[in-house]
Amino acid sequence: MKKKILIGIVAVVVIAGIWFAFNQEKATQMIVDFGMAMTSSVKHRDAASEKAKFEMSADDFSKAFKDNAATANTTYINQAVLLEGSVSSVSGVTVTLNNIACNIDSSDLEKVKVLKQGDKVKIQGLVVGYNDLMEEIALAQCKIK
């Protein structure tokens, strides 16, 4: 009896694995939809459309974290900021201004395609973290202004 149950479980796992392998995009979307359904009662923030709490140059923003990471974390984490600076690099959906990695919102991807190193930009986003070892600041929900 235990052997039949074990064989049944293995069969279900194998079938699910095969289905997932051939329908990966559909399966991924199902997982995302499930996650959204589970969190749909939570109001999602759109930091890029908020009025920025802080406006400054990317260099000054970066310097604040390098000078005193603890104070900068307390001041800026989870806040909408508008930064102005030169593009250091563009990789996929991430635009980097010196050591500030801005994850661009999907609605702004067309603007990212034309950016190149050295371009002056204004980017607004939500400060989500600082890696003091790499001295890198992460912003999410970013839009190019």
Segment among 33-37, 86-90, 99-103 with least mean pLDDT: 33-37
What is the C-alpha separation between 72 and 94, in angstroms, rounded? 22
Yes or no: say if 64 and 76 are a contact pair by the CB < 8 Å rule: yes
Please, which residues have CB within 8 angstroms of residue 68's CB and are 6 or more apart in sequence? none
Q: What's the farthest any 2 CA atoms get from each other in the chain?
A: 70
Residue 10, pLDDT score: 79
Higher pLDDT, 65 or 41: 65
58 falls in which pLDDT band (50, 70, 90)? Answer: very high
**CA-angle at 55, arms to 54 and 58, nearest 5°:** 110
Phi, psi angle pair for 19, to nearest 5° = -60, -45
The first and second tokens of residue 92, run together, are: 């996929």
Yes or no: say if 62 and 100 are a contact pair by the CB < 8 Å rule: yes
137 falls in which pLDDT band (50, 70, 90)? Answer: very high
Place of tokens 């406006």: 55
Place of tokens 């190193």: 117
Residue 16, pLDDT score: 73
pLDDT tops 80 at residue 60: yes
pTM: 0.69
Q: Give the pLDDT confidence of 20-48 residue by residue, as tens digits.
A: 666 666 656 666 566 555 555 555 678 77
In single-letter form, the type of residue at position 92 comes to G
Q: What structural domains does the chain harbor?
A: 2-39 (no CATH), 54-144 (2.40.50.140)
Nearest residue to 127 via CA among 145, 144, 103: 103
Helices of type H across 23-121: 24-39, 58-67, 69-76, 109-113
Mean pLDDT of 42-61: 85
